[in-house]
Amino acid sequence: MERLWQAGTHIMGRVLYEIMASYWPTSKETPAMPMNQIPKVVFSKSLKQATWGPAEIVSGDLAEEISRLKQRSRKDILAHGGASFAQSLARLNLIDEYRLLVHPVALGSGKPCINSPLNLRLLSSHQFPSGVVALIYSRP
């Protein structure tokens, strides 16, 4: 929760935005308040209207848009996954810190969120009672 409130902007791709937009506005879960109140930027070439706000849709060059967001915001920008979106951010070296939640579930397939080797430094780890492990990495 603390991390969600520290963000000045939440960024995501269209697919994840649409999934979250169908859930968070009516959710009674604790994270619903920051998820609904903190401005969102959706990276999409096809989405025409953002129904879950406050939100803006951008379709320009990813690196240029991230640079613009960094100049505009004094607070952190929190990128929500979606494998394709995460791959794009990683490929362009736009991620300063990786905060990964590892759930105790093994799946046999899926799209990796990182598809090229990265040299990262572990900053911290925390295990929750549920078995989920939070890992925080930075680039060296």
pLDDT digits (tens, 9 = 90+) for 24-58: 999 999 999 999 999 999 999 999 999 998 999 99
Dist. CA 36–CA 38, nearest whole Å: 6
What's the CATH number of domain 2-138, 3.90.1150.10, 3.20.20.70, 3.40.430.10, 3.10.180.10? Answer: 3.40.430.10
Dist. CA 128–CA 76, nearest whole Å: 24
pLDDT for the residue numbered 4: 87
Question: What are the phi and psi torsion angles at 23 (to 5°)?
Answer: -115, -55
pLDDT digits (tens, 9 = 90+) for 93-114: 999 999 988 998 887 787 777 7
Work out the burial of residue 68: count CB atoms within 10 Å of its CB; fewer than 13 is exposed, 13-18 middle, 19 or more buried: middle
Domain borders along the chain are 2-138
With a threshold of 0.75, does the pTM exceed it?
A: yes
